[in-house]
A = this chain, B = another copy of it.
Amino acid sequence: MRYAVLGTGIVGRTLAGKLASLGHDVVIGTRDPGATLARTEPDGMGNPPFAQWHADHGQVRLETFEAAAAFGETVVNTTAGERSLDALQAAGAPRLSGKVLIDVANPLDFSAGRPTLDPVNTDSLGERIERAFPDAKVVKTLNTMNCFVMVEPARVAGEHTVFVSGDDTGAKKAVTALLGSFGWPEASVIDLGDITTARGVEMLLPIWLHLYGTLGHGDFNFHIQGARPGG
């Protein structure tokens, strides 16, 4: 299948690399490909510049948001949550229409030192995206863990959970199958319901960050114990 991964950060790279390794055709979208490739400094998290990653992943093409979205049959939003709507506007509604739009982003604002979520409580980024692009089939998933765990759940020993939220049952089914190809057993996928459940899912991020600080690593995940008989 043809995938567009919007966002050139570590999450986008990790998902794009995994999709390519599974034999999919993958294009990464960014605002300005030339500027993305010209960067020579590590990002704020210490990840190497995109060009360095790209040298090892030549099968993944880098394009504008618009060209990437036009190419993808499925679109994955990995951009920083605060900029996701802008990125998707740049991709353009016609290029998202009718497609599964997997939203992996979190609307975290780190500007105040301590992360805050915006929106929170009565809205979510997943819902905002769905309202802005009503012809896309938005599925919120994977945003509750480190990106390396997203594509290799066995990094965390034992059973653990990935949530899906969305209004389109077929799209959630397709995403569940994709998750299966990443290594997620179907029993680990909890369909929380409609896209408004993205509120609760996004609100997991603050405790994720507390745990990351306390544990000192990102190889952990939430497991809902008791969600089904026997586990």
Question: Cβ of A193 < 8 Å from any Cβ of B?
Answer: yes
Q: In chain A, residues 148-182, which have Cβ atoms closer than 8 Å to a Cβ of chain B? A: 155-160, 163
Question: With A121-B117, A121-B120, A225-B157 known to touch, is A207 a contact of B207 (CB < 8 Å)?
Answer: no
Contact-size category for A? 35 or more
A129 to chain B, nearest CB (A): 18
The residues of A with any CB-CB pair to B shorter than 8 Å are 112, 114, 116-118, 120-122, 155-160, 163, 190-193, 196-197, 199-201, 203-204, 206-211, 213-215, 219-227, 230-231
Could you show 22 A-B contacts with beta carbons less than 8 Å apart? Answer: A117-B120, A117-B121, A117-B203, A120-B120, A120-B121, A155-B226, A156-B225, A157-B226, A157-B230, A158-B226, A159-B225, A160-B226, A192-B211, A193-B210, A193-B214, A200-B207, A203-B203, A204-B204, A220-B226, A221-B224, A222-B223, A223-B225
